[in-house]
Structure 1
Amino acid sequence: MIKKLFAKCCRTILLIVCKLVTGVQARWYSPPCDAVTIYYANHTSHLDGLVIWSSFPKKLRKLVHPVVAKDYWEKNSLKKFIAIEVFNSVLINRHTNTHENPLQPLIATLEKQQSLILFPEGTRGNGEQIVDFKSGLYHLAKQFPHIHFVPVYLNNLNRVLPKGSKLVVPIICSAIFGSAISPLHENESKADFLLRAKQALKDLI
C-alpha cells in the first residue's frame, strides 16, 4: 500500500516537472480514444516516453505503457522503480538469445487490450533526422492487424536533455499525434510497411 502511494506521488511530481521543464504542447490530429493503440515516435531523449505519456488524458494513462530497454532501466533500484512502479512500463531485452522473442512482453500487453508507446528507431537519435525503423513494428502490425498505429513526432526534446548530458535545459517542446496509419496491406512487404510508417511520422514535422 505504501509502495503504491509513493509511486503515485512520484508520478504526480514527475508529471508536474515534465510540464514545467518542457512546457509540452500536445496536438492531436484525431481525438485520443481508448482503442488499443501503438503510439510510435522518434527517439531523442530519455524524457520522450514521459512527454508522450503526460500528453494523454488522465483516464488513458493507466491503459498506455511506455516500452523501455531492460538493460538500462534495471541498472539500479531507483530506475527500476520508476520504470515499473511509477509508469508501468514494458521492459524489453535488447540482447536476447535465439530462443527468446524480444517482442513477447509487447505481445502480452496488447493481448490484454492495453496500448504501448514504442520507439521503432531502436535507439536515441540526434533530433535532426529519423533513422530507419527496426522490424518490430512490422511484426506487431502483422500479428495485430486490427489495432491502431499512431505516429507521434516529438520536437525539441533533444535540446532539453541532450544525449550524454545530465543537465536539463527548459525549452518549449511539442508532441504531435498524427492520424492512425492504414493497417498492413495484403502482400505488403516489411520494407514497404516500415517505410510507410516512417513517412507518416516525417509528415508531422
Structure 2
Amino acid sequence: MSATFPVRIARSTLVGTARALLSLRAIDLPPPATVPRIFVANHVSHADFVTLWSALPKPQRLRTRPVAGADYWQASRLRGWIANQVFRAVLIDRDPARRSADPVETVAQVLRGGEDVIFFPEGTRNLTDMALLPLKSGIFHLAHAAPRAEIVPAWIVNLDRILPKGAFVPVPLNCAVRFGAPLRPRAGETRDDFLQRLAGAMLALSGREG
C-alpha cells in the first residue's frame, strides 16, 4: 500500500534533517540482496533507528522496519503516528506480562514476508562506558526463526557524542553508520558462540574492544 502524502512528507523531512544535521553517511553498505536482512547495531539513543534508517538508500529504506519498544513509541499520539505510519515500526512490548504474542515470532513474520528489519541486540540503550553491552539471546532465536534472512552488523558512529544523554542541542560532529559483511549462524554453533561472534563483528566496526 502506498504511503499517504503526509507520511511521504514526514519521511522526506526526517531523512533530510538527519542527513543534514548529522552529516550522515553510510560506509560499506553491502550491495542489495535477494533475501531479507536483519540490520543489527549498537544502541545508545532513541534516535538510533532513525539514524540507521535514514542512512539507507531509499529503495532499501522503504522495505526496512525498525524493531522498537512499544512503551516509548506509544507514549503519545505523535510518537505512535511516527512509529506506525512513518517507519512502520514493529513495536514490541518489553513487559512479558503484557505481551499478546511471542516477539521473536512477530519479527520473524516480517522477515518471512520479505521485508528487512533494524534490530538492537543489546536489548536496551547502552548508557554505560562499555562499547557494547552483552548481546541478548533474541537475535540468535530470530536468526533461527527466519533462516533465510542474513544478519548485517552495523555500528552507529558518534551519535552518543552528538546527542549526549539529556542534551537537546546536537554537538556539531559527523555521524556515520558503518556496515560489515552479512553473516548467519553456523551449523551446530551454540547460542553463546554465535553471540560472541556477532559482538566481535560489531565491535570491529567500532574500532573498540569493549
* TM-score, L = length of structure 1: 0.91
AA partner of residue 107 (structure 2):
L
SS in 1 for 2:38: strand
Residue of structure 1 equivalent to 2:175:
173
What is the RMSD of the two structures over their aligned residues, measured on CA atoms? Answer: 2.0
CA deviation vs aligned residue, 1:110-168 (integer Å, no higher than 9, x gap): 12111100000111114751111111100011122221100001110011222233333
* Percent of residue pairs identical: 34
1:164 aligns with 2:162: no
Separation in 2 of the partners of 1:125 and 1:9?
31
- Give unpaired runs (5+ residues) of structure 1: none
SS in 2 for 1:80: helix
Question: Which range is displaced more, 19-28 or 163-172?
Answer: 163-172
1:121 aligns with 2:122: yes
1:149 aligns with 2:151: yes
1:191 aligns with 2:196: no
State the Cα distance separating 1:99 from its structure 2 match.
Answer: 6.9
State the Cα distance separating 1:203 from its structure 2 match.
Answer: 1.0
* TM-score, L = length of structure 2: 0.89
Separation in 1 of the partners of 2:152 and 2:123?
17
Residue of structure 2 equivalent to 1:12:
12
State the Cα distance separating 1:59 from its structure 2 match.
Answer: 1.2
Residue of structure 1 equivalent to 2:35:
35
Residue of structure 2 equivalent to 1:49:
49
- Give unpaired runs (5+ residues) of structure 2: none
Change (3 A) 1:89 1:174: same
Separation in 1 of the partners of 2:82 and 2:27?
26
Separation in 1 of the partners of 2:34 and 2:4?
24
Change (3 A) 1:34 1:73: farther
Check whether the contact 2:18–2:51 (CA below 8 A) recurs between aligned residues: yes
Check whether the contact 1:39–1:150 (CA below 8 A) recurs between aligned residues: yes
State how 1:101-112 maps to structure 2 within 5 Å: 101-112=102-113
Structure 1 stretches of 4+ moved >4 Å: none
Question: Which range is displaced more, 100-109 or 143-152?
Answer: 100-109
AA partner of residue 55 (structure 1):
A
SS in 1 for 2:153: strand
Q: How many residues matched?
A: 203
